[in-house]
Structure 1
Amino acid sequence: MLRHAAHEDSVKAVRQTPSLVSYAEHWGRKGDLGFGAFVEAEPAGAVWMRQWSAENQGYGFVREDIPELAIALVPDYRGQGIGTALLTQLLETAQVQHPAVSLSVRDRNPAVRLYKRLGFAKVEGSDRPNRVGGMSFKMVRYFDSRLI
């Protein structure tokens, strides 16, 4: 699923990019949480979050107490509500222990509409060139509006 989340052509390409490997490496450490979706036993998508530190950040890092999420759908299963269901499940679970969740997204990714619909807001000033030459930015979904 990390291959799909990173828009890579192969698992080999992911394994050759240390900044991507860190999203799944040593899975199960404190703060890791994820859900998968299957259609007739076929993997259709996944959503997961990971806690980062100031010294070891993911692309969507905002602060140490806000985990970053990643989401992926197999292309054949996009546009069917699976991503919405996965993301909703993760947000409902995460809000019990965290003040917010963050993510990084490419500026032309159609999923930006989904994120906005589910309450994510762009982190102003977070626009950065991404590893493939385009632009990306961070978004945060706060669970308590007083924290914004």
Structure 2
Amino acid sequence: MTTLDPLAGPGYPALVALARAVDEDVSVSEGLVELVRLRCSQVNGCAYCQRLHGARAVELGESAERIAALAGWRGSALFDPEERAALELAEAVTLVADGRVPEEVLDAAVAAHGVAGAQQLIWVSLVVNAFNRLAVGMRLA
């Protein structure tokens, strides 16, 4: 089996620098950011990032019940409207090949988190999607 090194070349350090820059500018709660990262990782099938962000969410006080329900968040009463807006936006960004982020999804995220918060959630989603694709593409996941 071919083994690839995700640390080889300039890409990985640049991605880490981008992630740090995005994290410095996030005003939404760390717990919600980890739920967004975990949900994007679930959608992308990245087992490595699911483990990482699931553990981080627990460290931040997230319950095992909510983490277990995250994959089916739409049918769960465990997530509040602000979380739902963030998760919907994160999924729309993750599944962008299905089409543009729907206007109502973006509007709901802006209503829940403000323009700056919605933009930050898009950047968080973008960065975790890049890490997911790196891990899956290089068979780390």
TM-score past 0.5 threshold:
no
Higher strand content, 1 or 2 = 1
Higher relative CO (Cα under 8 Å, sequence separation at least 6) belongs to 2
TM-score in terms of structure 1 length: 0.30
